[in-house]
Amino acid sequence: MPNPLLIGAARSPLARRLISGSKTTRRVVDRFVAGERPEDALAATQRLVSEGLTVTIDHLGEDTRSAEQARQVTDAYLSLLRDLGARGLASDAEVSLKLSALGQALPGDGERVALSAAREICTAAAAAGTTVTVDMEDHTTVDSTLTVVRDLRADFPWVGAVLQSCLRRTEQDCRDLATPGSRVRLVKGAYAEPASVAHRSRSEVDAAYVRCLSTLMSGPGYPMVATHDPALITTADELALAGGRVTTSYEFQMLYGIRVPEQHRLAASGRQMRVYVAYGEDWYGYFMRRLAERPANVTFFLRSFVSS
């Protein structure tokens, strides 16, 4: 499970100052983040698409604390979507967004602010000819996020939802969302969650992932299998085959910079492979969650300090 210390550090202002101020950090961050400017994300997208992969782009940022900041994030997505359309990338690249970046946690009417911003972004995505997937954050936000996704889907039925197999509630959420055309990205979950709501051991989370995937694969929706786990990738193909699915009726997704040869292997074998490309200046929380997922990344990060 994600290392709780590092997940805690992802939300600590002091750790943020210490870690993001270092030049060495920057070099390691480049492994997971396409860059700070939209141009960097577009260049990475262009390259991945030319290699036969598809893309979902995330403008980094979360826990927005002001309406102005939420507006800036919304405008960044609107501009990105215009660029995707103008460069002919919209059929291969969509966007992923976090509702907390759009103001979901603002006091009072945060959910309404985030819904209205997400609606604007979906309208721009439709105009560009692409889709939107709404990321899932920690368990306290799941009800609100699924409510927003439901509202968006009334006008934009292609809006994707994300479900986390670590949460005990997710098997029921999978049953509820396994409806015709429903795009559901299944992940293990990147947040440190309490045992009252979440499976805590790796084996329980993996077993829950298989049960959830089985529900999604046997339903009429469009499963998006977001994992780097080799055993789950094999299971996904087996479940798809057993359910009589063709390879265009589901897709694999992985994060930018992680298991890159496997991304190419899957694409070359005719499977649909989408890469989650994160860009932006606010990379700290995203980067810390990538470290928390894998002890080897922390070692790699610490070694780069020693060798710098």
Contacts with ligand FDA by CB under 6 A lie at: 135-136, 162, 164, 187-191, 226-229, 253-255, 258-259, 276, 290, 293-294, 297
By beta-carbon proximity to ligand FDA, the closer residue of 14 and 195 is 195
Output phi, psi for 57, to 5 deg: -105, 130
Q: What DSSP letter does each residue of 186-239 carry, written as one string?
A: EE---S---TTTB--SHHHHHHHHHHHHHHHHHSSSEEEEE---HHHHHHHHHH
By beta-carbon proximity to ligand FDA, the closer residue of 276 and 283 is 276
DSSP single-letter state for residue 167: B
By beta-carbon proximity to ligand FDA, the closer residue of 74 and 170 is 170
As a dihedral over the C-alpha atoms of residue 290, residue 70, residue 167, residue 188, rounded to 10 degrees, the angle is -30
Please give the residue whose beta carbon sits closest to ligand FDA in the complex.
Answer: 228
Shortest CB 35 distance to ligand FDA, Å: 18
C-alpha pair distances (Å), 156 with each of 81, 115, 116, 152, 304: 16, 13, 13, 6, 45
Shortest CB 60 distance to ligand FDA, Å: 13
Shortest CB 227 distance to ligand FDA, Å: 3
Rounded distance between C-alpha atoms, residue 305 and residue 276, angstroms: 27
By beta-carbon proximity to ligand FDA, the closer residue of 70 and 101 is 101
Shortest CB 276 distance to ligand FDA, Å: 4
- Sign (positive/negative) of CA torsion 148, 154, 155, 157? positive
By beta-carbon proximity to ligand FDA, the closer residue of 32 and 156 is 32
Residues identified as active-site: 135, 185
Strands (E), the chain: 54-59, 93-97, 132-134, 160-164, 183-187, 222-226, 251-255, 273-279
Shortest CB 108 distance to ligand FDA, Å: 25
Please check whether residue 36 is in contact with residue 280, taking contact to mean a CB–CB distance below 8 angstroms. yes
